[in-house]
A and B are shown apart, each in its own frame.
Chain A
Amino acid sequence: MTVDHAAAAERGFLAEARRPGPFGWIFSTDHKRIGLLYLWSIVTFFCVGALLGLLIRLELWAPGRTIMDAQTYNAVFTLHGVIMIFLFIIPGIPAAFGNLVMPIQIGARDVAFPRLNLLSWWLYIGGAALAVTSLFTGGGPPDTGWTFYVPFSARTTTNVSLATVAVFILGFSSILTGLNFVTTIHRLRAEGMTWTRLPLFTWSLYATAWIQILATPVLGITVALLFAERVIGTGLFDPAQGGDPIMFQHLFWIYSHPAVYIMVLPGMGVVSDIIPVFARKPAFGYKAIVVSSLAIAFAGSLVWAHHMYTSGMSDLAVMVFSLLTFIVAIPSAVKVFNWLATLYQGSILLDPPLLFALSFILLFTIGGLTGLVLGAAATDVHVHDTYFVVGHFHFTMFGGTGMAFFAAMHYWLPKFYGRMYDKTVATVAWGVIFTGFCILYLSMKIVGMMGMPRRYWDYVPEFTGLNQLATAGSWILGIGLVLMFVNLVRGVLYGKPAPANPWGGATLEWQLPSPPPTENFAHDPVVTHGPYDFRKAGIL
């Protein structure tokens, strides 16, 4: 018995369920269990989305039909977009790692509203189930692209109506998480955890949570209006009835552009937390990073119409939104320079989390700078809706947030499972992923510059070479992803025991045993130093 108890204590929250079997997970209000529920649901959807991406690339191996017809292709890229945006990248880091790590980082025993937290996971799963149902019911899988632009989305006979309901529900899941995080960070910080001692990951979640609360309702309104347009023919977006189709684009992007920052800000937070640890130096310009997170959240909410330069909106709006877009580049660059300055003259340990974090900086910077090509109205007109755009946003979203998500998995999973993955395999997997990534998406950028439009099933023969290069890159990327996930899952299940603080971090989560006990802290901690003060934490 004693041995059993000791073994259970070693497995922390993983061994302490209030209900038997799976019920101990799906009805748990423990933020760590909910975080892991989110993590594995999100990873599952990512794998499905990635598989669809591989199918898209396979179809584009040669002009004309390769493996699927045009209508199937439209459904596949729509599904790839909807899954990757709404089921992977928006909830990705905040819902999975925010839930796992944030309450511990601020010295709390749980989030402010644990039951609401569980509800938001259920809403996520419910929304996902509806999205999957929409594929097999009604008029078949939606074929509009993830943006649901009218007039096509109002007229297509495919099952757009159910998909919009799914998005509506997923939006609520996101709002509830945001609400929970803002309240938690305001109310549940431990003694001594002042705002300037808040880890940068938690700061990024705080900035993100405000966008989730303020912008997501607009998405709900937009898809509800589209639903009404389809079901009762309100005519709001139909010029024949006095409506305005461009208004849909405004409404859609009022949410969906800030959503880009919901996607990337937590990724920036992960990188800001990882770099000081592996450089063995305090974060350079802590306050500048905090302010830049808030500035990105604010300024990023006012640039939505840069997606619409060719839509026919007024020239004045084009100029104003183009100018505002350039402003967002400033706080983003502040972060990049701060990360580099943190690395400068550090004692750098090239462990897998840092490798992924470093590739975030490079790939996100390339993605961000190509974003300025699109943010400038004059150049955007030439590359709008080409593969250049597809290359650009995969660099920011996958090269940015995706890499940060992988960095977070390599950084924090040993903490929450108490087991370490094989670092050599992880490093090899990183190399393969990085190589495949660059081949795939750089080819897309070049073929886009040459004029290949996005979302087309067919293309002219001149583009064949670069498309085949991209498809080959997608295979390399796919192999790297399989290697990485297999290694992580093997590590979680059979890896060597991980110590409490394998990387030498100074934030609170590293002071708990791996895995942490159910309510985290036996006694409420008192915080006496900053998050990257390695000397005071006794690490240096």
Chain B
Amino acid sequence: MSENQEHAHIVPYRTFFLVWVALLALTAITVAVAQVNLGPLNVWAALGIATVKSTLVVAYFMHMKYEARLFKLALLAALAILAIFIGMTFLDVLYRS
């Protein structure tokens, strides 16, 4: 039986602390990268770091890492659909003459 809703998974403080430190470090990196001119790559760097940060928050602080596979799938499906909608909108926005 996998971890399910009936038993709240207990996460040690140490894990929360490490995630917090990682989030702070990533914030510092975001600020640092913004100082360097990388052209369009600046946006990708900022988005990439933000993705890692939100993944950490969802996985640890919001407990998604300890949920049943169905919930993970549901979240991923919603994110994938959002990505498709946004991606296809960019077919227009990026290529307007």
Contacts and interface: CB of A to CB of B under 8 A. Distances in A.
Interface of A is mostly: helix
Contact of A218 (B85, B88, B91, B97): B85
A317 B84 contact: no
A477 interface: no
Contact of B81 (A214, A246, A247, A321): A214
B37 interface: no
A3 interface: no
A314 B84 contact: no
Contacts of B5: none
Contacts of A244: 93
The interface size bin for chain B is: 10 to 19
B94 interface: yes
A302 interface: yes
B85 A305 contact: no
Interface residues of A, number: 18
A349 interface: no
Nearest to B88: A302
Given A218-B85, A254-B85, A302-B84, A314 B94 contact: yes
A315 B95 contact: yes
A314 B95 contact: yes
A301 B87 CA distance: 13
B78 A314 contact: no
A6 interface: no
* Central interface residue in B78, B84, B91, by most chain A CB within 10 Å: B91
Nearest to A316: B95
B42 to A, nearest CB: 18
Nearest to A302: B88
A250 interface: yes
A264 B57 CA distance: 40
A317 B85 contact: no
A320 B90 CA distance: 12
Interface string A301-314: 11001000000111
Given A302-B88, A316-B95, 20 more contacts: A218-B85, A246-B92, A305-B88, A305-B91, A312-B96, A313-B92, A313-B96, A314-B93, A314-B94, A314-B96, A314-B97, A315-B95, A315-B97, A316-B91, A316-B92, A317-B88, A317-B92, A320-B88, A320-B91, A321-B91
Interface of A: 214, 218, 244, 246-247, 250, 254, 301-302, 305, 312-317, 320-321
17 contacts: A218-B85, A244-B93, A246-B92, A247-B89, A247-B93, A250-B92, A254-B89, A302-B88, A305-B92, A313-B92, A313-B96, A314-B95, A314-B96, A316-B92, A320-B88, A320-B91, A321-B91
